[in-house]
């Protein structure tokens, strides 16, 4: 049996490392386009499942895949296309509540567990200067919603309700429960 993370994200690798279980990384090459006509909650789960299913595996292997989006005022915010897009997203989030949704899929043989973890966040009011300075760091460019809560984006979040690690990119608590059910022998190794 092999544990496989279907993601090249350094943040997801770090979070999966919290389990102290050896794992391989294989990046799924799929179309991650979210259908805006469907509920974001369902779409992010669908994309995570596509990622997991794209990974070659044996029946005994356990594949973990995740996809994260930010939703504000009914709009889905993925990774920014450029600095202007990052500015637009951060201006939208300023002074508002939003949700970070991570679709999570765990596959083993023919068994699949697919879910979406949601964390609510409130940003304080941001000035245009603060947004521009943050964008100059380059940090927003590879992150859903144009911010990283684990680094400079932490300065913007007044309140978080839910799993902090979900905002980073992997709902660790939920994943642990799923692994305990689907691959208890892996979880025994963490004791």
The residues annotated with a catalytic role in the active site are 67
Q: How far apart are CA 64 and CA 82, in angstroms?
A: 29
């Amino acid at each position: 049996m092999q544990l496989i993370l279907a993601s090249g994200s350094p943040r997801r690798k770090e979070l999966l490392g919290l389990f102290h279980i050896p794992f391989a990384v294989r990046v799924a090459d799929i179309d991650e386009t979210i259908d805006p006509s469907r509920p974001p909650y369902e779409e992010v789960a669908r994309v995570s499942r596509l990622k997991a299913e794209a990974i070659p595996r044996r029946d005994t292997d356990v594949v973990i895949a995740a996809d994260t989006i930010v939703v504000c005022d009914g709009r889905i915010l993925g990774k920014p296309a450029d600095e202007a897009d990052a500015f637009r997203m951060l201006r939208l989030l300023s002074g508002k509540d939003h949700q970070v949704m991570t679709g999570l899929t765990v596959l083993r043989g023919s068994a699949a567990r697919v879910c979406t973890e949601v964390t609510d966040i409130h940003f304080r009011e941001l000035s245009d200067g603060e947004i521009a300075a943050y964008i100059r760091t380059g940090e927003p460019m590879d992150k859903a919603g144009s911010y990283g809560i684990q680094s400079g984006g932490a300065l913007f979040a007044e309140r978080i309700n839910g799993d902090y690690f979900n905002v980073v990119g992997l709902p660790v608590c939920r994943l642990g429960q799923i692994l305990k059910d689907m691959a208890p022998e892996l979880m025994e190794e963490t004791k």
